[in-house]
Amino acid sequence: RRSLRTFSWGGPAWEKRVRNSARVRASNGISVLVTGAAGFVGTHVSAALKKRGDGVLGLDNFNDYYDPSLKRARQALLERSGVFIVEGDINDEALLKKLFEMVPFTHVMHLAAQAGVRYAMQNPASYVHSNIAGFVSLLEVCKSANPQPAIVWASSSSVYGLNTKVPFSEKDKTDQPASLYAATKKAGEEIAHTYNHIYGLSLTGLRFFTVYGPWGRPDMA
């Protein structure tokens, strides 16, 4: 079993920051846990949700797949907007359970994942750890949460694999992944279907193509 990095969390001051960040400001607002909140997409989503009055709590492990200083800069940006990012791993079920005990999240935006096609050949275990085991850890907590949150999560256009038909369609076959990264995202789609079927979890997967813009990932430039 892969060991988790050690993160320090808990205590009265930490709990206060969690609750303040997740507090809904708008009368019709929602409360959202954003995993991968220090990532490119996660930062923009967190800021947009907070701006419209939703409660937003971030979660990120600040790994070193690319320069963590960029993630820290995004963290500082979100702090100024009132979004607190909890430092932790989605495989830490004790942390996830604690967050859901403290906050009645209505939604989860699950963007935490090990990205990159080429890096999968160098560190394959990190993809299984994050994209499969981490996803299951999150769903295990969500299935028993009250309320049971609706989940939007990041799949990938990579699931289309060796398909040559264009334009792509959600109805296209996705049974020929061309990388381990793609295979883990395909596995995620099957896992999502299973948790919807068995536990009634509301799950919507987004097959992102290349995403770019301000504060973007260096490897996508």
Annotated active-site positions, please? 181
Strand order of the sheet with strand 150-154? 84-87, 55-60, 31-35, 107-110, 150-154, 203-206
Q: What gap in Å lies between CA 3 and CA 15, rounded to an integer?
A: 25
Q: Which amino acid is at 82?
A: G
Q: Contact at 8 Å (CB) between 124 and 177?
A: no
Whether 66 contacts 217, CB under 8 Å: yes
Q: Return the CA Rg of the chain.
A: 17
Tally the C-alpha atoms within 13 A of residue 56's C-alpha that lie toward its C-beta. Answer: 29
Look at residue 147 and give its three-state secondary structure. coil
Looking only at Cα atoms, what is the longest distance across the chain? 55
Q: How far apart are CA 217 and CA 154, in angstroms?
A: 16
